[in-house]
Chains A and B, each alone.
Chain A
Amino acid sequence: MVDEISDFEILELAVRELAIEKGLFTAEDHRVFSEWNDARSPAAGSRMVAKAWTDPAYKSRVFADPLAASKEVGVDWAEPTGFGTTSDYMHLTVLEDTPTVHHVIVCTLCSCYPRPLLGHSPYWYRAPNYRRRIVRWPRQVLAEFGLILPPEVELRVEDSNAKSRFMVLPVRPAGTEGWTEEQLAEIVTRDCMIGIALPRPGRTSDGPRPIHKASRPVHSGGRPKEAAQ
Chain B
Amino acid sequence: MPSPSETRQIYETGTQLRPTIHQEQDWPYEVPHIRYEALIWPPHDVGGQPAAPQIFEEKEDEEWENNAYITCEVLGFRGLWNAEERRRIYANDIGTTLYYGFPYNARWIWGAAKMLVDKKYVSLIELQEKIGEIRKRLGVNAQRGGHATSNISAGAQTNVTTNTGTGKTGTGNRPDYGSKAPWEGTGEIRPARFKVGDRVRVKDLPAIFYTRTQMYARNMSGTIAALTYPDLIPADEAWERYDAPQEQYYIVRFQQKDLWAEYPFENDTLQSEYPEMWLEAED
Contacts and interface: CB of A to CB of B under 8 A. Distances in A.
A85 B139 contact: no
B152 A212 contact: yes
A39 B170 contact: yes
Contacts of B26: none
B109 A15 contact: yes
A36 B71 contact: no
Interface in A150-170: 151-164
B121 interface: yes
Nearest to B143: A4
Contact of B48 (A79, A87, A132, A229): A132
A132 B47 contact: yes
B210 to A, nearest CB: 10
B56 A124 contact: yes
Contacts of B265: 139, 151, 155
B71 A30 contact: yes
Contacts of B23: none
Contact of B165 (A43, A210, A212, A218): A43
A98 interface: no
Nearest to B229: A91
Contact of A14 (B77, B121, B131, B214): B131
B15 to A, nearest CB: 14
Contact of A80 (B163, B174, B212): B174
Interface residues of A, number: 124
Nearest to B151: A213
Max chain B C-beta neighbours (<10 A), residue from A81, A127, A141, A221: A81
Nearest to A166: B271
A37 B74 CA distance: 12
A144 interface: yes
A9 interface: yes
A86 B162 contact: no
A18 B115 CA distance: 13
A14 B154 CA distance: 32
A41 B167 contact: yes
B21 interface: no
Contacts of B121: 18-19, 22, 24
B59 A156 contact: no
A81 to B, nearest CB: 4
Contacts of B148: 3-4, 6, 215-216
B106 A8 contact: yes
* Size bin of chain B's contact surface: 35 or more
A220 to B, nearest CB: 6
A106 B45 CA distance: 12
Given A16-B67, A190-B160, A130 B56 contact: yes
Contacts of B62: 6, 9, 214-218
Contact of B66 (A14, A161, A218): A218
Given A39-B167, A43-B162, A162 B249 contact: yes
B58 A128 contact: no
Contacts of A33: 70, 73-74, 77
Interface stretch (A54-62, A171-179, A200-208): A200-208
Nearest to A144: B53
Interface string B142-165: 011111111110111111111111
B64 A207 contact: no
A131 B47 contact: yes
A126 B46 CA distance: 11
A109 B60 CA distance: 22
Contacts of A18: 116, 121-122, 126-127, 130
Nearest to B45: A109
Interface stretch (B33-41, B78-86, B193-201): B78-86
Contacts of B102: 8
A189 B174 CA distance: 31
A227 B138 contact: yes
A122 B180 CA distance: 30
5 contacts: A6-B62, A39-B170, A79-B170, A127-B54, A163-B249
Interface of B: 44-51, 53-78, 80, 82-83, 86-87, 91, 100, 102-106, 109-110, 112-113, 116, 121-122, 126-127, 130-131, 134-135, 138-140, 143-152, 154-181, 183-184, 212-214, 216, 226, 228-229, 231, 234, 249, 251, 253, 256, 259-260, 263, 265, 267-275
